Structure 1
Amino acid sequence: MEDSLQRFFLEIAYDGTSYHGWQVQDNAISVQERLNEALRKILRYPIETIGAGRTDTGVHAKQLFVHLDIPGSSIKNEDRFLHSLNALLPHDIAVYRVFAVDKEAHARFDATERAYEYHIHFRKNPFLLYKSWQLRERPDVMVMNTAAAFLVGTQDFECFSKSHTQVYTNICTVTQAYWQETKDGLVFHITANRFLRNMVRAIVGTLLDIGLKKKTPESILDVIGSKDRSKAGTSVPAHGLYLTKIVYPYIDTTF
């Protein structure tokens, strides 16, 4: 039976406001749980999905890929399958694509790059509730971008990681980190090969301390060198954070 299974990738997006993150867990509703439930109803087959990564409670995803193994004949018409699946999913979870991949393809381990955004606004806006973090003070964007440049490269980012996490290494390669001014406020962009738990939110908090002149741009080097979470800034609220892009060497993820 196993030889007849086909591996598929799903491209999904979700508003994380109502969920305790992506990953299935006890006594809490997750995005993965809702997706698995809908898939089981359609496919009538035991479903186990593997995601490209995990997002924490309240964090959003504009693009996340997951894989699953099911009999190849289960999806005869991709458009019809997507329509049926989206009809069963809650309004805050959407599936954009489904496509067959090699049986060795892996949504988590094959990803070569991930990108996040953190959104900040300054004026009270009911349409940004739980979608962006409102700040009262305006930080110095130029100073924050000076500090953000020190993040680029291959380094040990343990200082920005949640404590007591079981990871094989704290080394990450950041290829892009910068702030962009928008009509509503600010957006922080960061891209890396991998991220540690809570890493982006801790980086944003550290950069805001610098932007509000509590620390100098160069102080971020001391924070990184310390490998001490207590030396970094406070983690900013989850609702301003978005996973925006996952890159694979064999998939066009800009579709």
Structure 2
Amino acid sequence: MEEQLKKRYFVELAYKGTNFHGWQIQPNAISVQEVLNKALSTVLREEIETVGCGRTDTGVHATNFFAHYDTITEITTDNQPKSENKLQITHERLVKAVNALVGYEIAIKRFIKVDAEAHARFDAISRSYEYHVYFEKNPFKLETAYLLTNRPNVVVMNEAALVIMEHTDFSCFSKSNTQTFTNNCKITRAEWIEVEGGLVFHITADRFLRNMVRAIVGTLLEVGKGNLTINNVQEILDSKNRSNAGESVPAAGLFLTTISYLYL
């Protein structure tokens, strides 16, 4: 058999993050990336290492997530003729086989062949998150939303969100010692929407800092409770100091919902 050249594929997936220590492989802790790598390596019978579009923290969920990997195995369609000189697997078979190995908390949606230089993380042009809040005790929302017993003022929270959108330096909402080259981000949407029995915060940006969304939500909820004013939010942003902002809300309510690329 002639030597096989590696090809690059994107895999689109979703996962419930409750029982994972985030996306990225961790020592002595289970992660989504570790489970996915093992499943792909088993099905394709070669060592597979995925690269994710970002990293989600422990307990954070993703309804839309992309990773890329390189492989010598070509993904084909059902009606495509099999080559004698290539390792091949149909798309349908690959999706079913990997889904059978990753468990019920991860769902593989599709595989996409991309250029050899395509990158799941660096090529993403925007990312969107949602944070879910509910007001009445509900055991079925315990792991996917944040319970608030008192309803906050949505109008002032959205006013404060507009102030946040006017800024680009979000040092005040970032974990310290993250080794990022810049704390600048461009937010294009930050909005609270009322839903039945609760609220959903929608936020979209070109990039996010570690813990940024949960810190923003925590700060906006303090505004909604009357503990902070719009002017306080401006002062927090200008200070660039994480200790001045509100506490981070629990991970359970946070969902990564959309990753956008120019070529997908």
| TM-score normalised to structure 1 length | 0.96
Task: Tell me the equivalent position of 1:5.
Answer: 6
Task: Tell me the equivalent position of 1:168.
Answer: 181
Which of the numbers 67, 76, 90 marks the counterpart of 2:103? Answer: 90
**Structure with larger Rg:** 2
Task: Tell me the equivalent position of 2:155.
Answer: 142
Task: Tell me the equivalent position of 2:77.
Answer: none
Q: Secondary structure at the residue paired with 2:13?
A: strand
Using the TM superposition, give the Cα deviation of residue 3 of structure 1 relative to its aligned residue in structure 2, in angstroms.
7.3
Amino acid at match of 1:129: L
| Distance in 2 between residues matched to 1:183 and 1:24, nearest whole Å | 37
Task: Tell me the equivalent position of 1:204.
Answer: 217
Amino acid at match of 1:95: I
Using the TM superposition, give the Cα deviation of residue 139 of structure 1 relative to its aligned residue in structure 2, in angstroms.
0.3
| Distance in 1 between residues matched to 2:217 and 2:34, nearest whole Å | 29
| Distance in 1 between residues matched to 2:181 and 2:206, nearest whole Å | 14
Which of the numbers 220, 226, 232 marks the counterpart of 1:213? Answer: 226
Task: Tell me the equivalent position of 2:20.
Answer: 19
| Distance in 1 between residues matched to 2:179 and 2:119, nearest whole Å | 21
Amino acid at match of 1:223: I
Q: Percent identity?
A: 55
Q: 1:75 to 1:184 in 2, by over 3 A?
A: farther
Amino acid at match of 1:49: T
RMSD (Å), alpha carbons: 1.3
Q: Is the 8 A contact 2:20 2:58 kept in 1?
A: yes
| Distance in 2 between residues matched to 1:170 and 1:50, nearest whole Å | 22
Q: 1:43 to 1:214 in 2, by over 3 A?
A: same
Using the TM superposition, give the Cα deviation of residue 221 of structure 1 relative to its aligned residue in structure 2, in angstroms.
1.2
Amino acid at match of 2:230: P
Q: Is the 8 A contact 1:147 1:217 kept in 2?
A: yes
Q: Secondary structure at the residue paired with 1:17?
A: coil
Matched, 1:114 2:127: yes
Using the TM superposition, give the Cα deviation of residue 129 of structure 1 relative to its aligned residue in structure 2, in angstroms.
1.4
Q: 1:49 to 1:103 in 2, by over 3 A?
A: same
Q: 1:2 to 1:168 in 2, by over 3 A?
A: farther
| Distance in 2 between residues matched to 1:217 and 1:178, nearest whole Å | 15
| Distance in 2 between residues matched to 1:45 and 1:84, nearest whole Å | 15
| Distance in 1 between residues matched to 2:146 and 2:235, nearest whole Å | 27
Using the TM superposition, give the Cα deviation of residue 137 of structure 1 relative to its aligned residue in structure 2, in angstroms.
1.2
| Distance in 2 between residues matched to 1:102 and 1:76, nearest whole Å | 19
| Distance in 1 between residues matched to 2:171 and 2:67, nearest whole Å | 27
Q: Secondary structure at the residue paired with 1:130?
A: coil
Task: Tell me the equivalent position of 2:68.
Answer: 67
Comparing 216-225 and 114-123, the one that deviates more: 216-225
Amino acid at match of 2:26: Q
Comparing 129-138 and 53-62, the one that deviates more: 129-138
Q: Is the 8 A contact 2:4 2:72 kept in 1?
A: no
Comparing 144-153 and 169-178, the one that deviates more: 144-153
Using the TM superposition, give the Cα deviation of residue 184 of structure 1 relative to its aligned residue in structure 2, in angstroms.
2.3
Q: Secondary structure at the residue paired with 1:115?
A: strand
Q: Is the 8 A contact 2:44 2:73 kept in 1?
A: no
Q: Is the 8 A contact 2:17 2:59 kept in 1?
A: yes
| Distance in 1 between residues matched to 2:248 and 2:52, nearest whole Å | 24
Mark the runs of 5 or more structure 1 residues left unpaired by the alignment. Answer: none
Using the TM superposition, give the Cα deviation of residue 76 of structure 1 relative to its aligned residue in structure 2, in angstroms.
2.8
Cα shift readout 1:48-95 (whole Å, capped 9, x = no counterpart): 100000000000000000000001435531011101110111100011
Using the TM superposition, give the Cα deviation of residue 218 of structure 1 relative to its aligned residue in structure 2, in angstroms.
2.8
| Distance in 1 between residues matched to 2:172 and 2:204, nearest whole Å | 18
Matched, 1:189 2:190: no
Q: Is the 8 A contact 1:4 1:72 kept in 2?
A: no
Using the TM superposition, give the Cα deviation of residue 151 of structure 1 relative to its aligned residue in structure 2, in angstroms.
1.8
Runs of 4+ in 1 over 4 A off after TM superposition: none
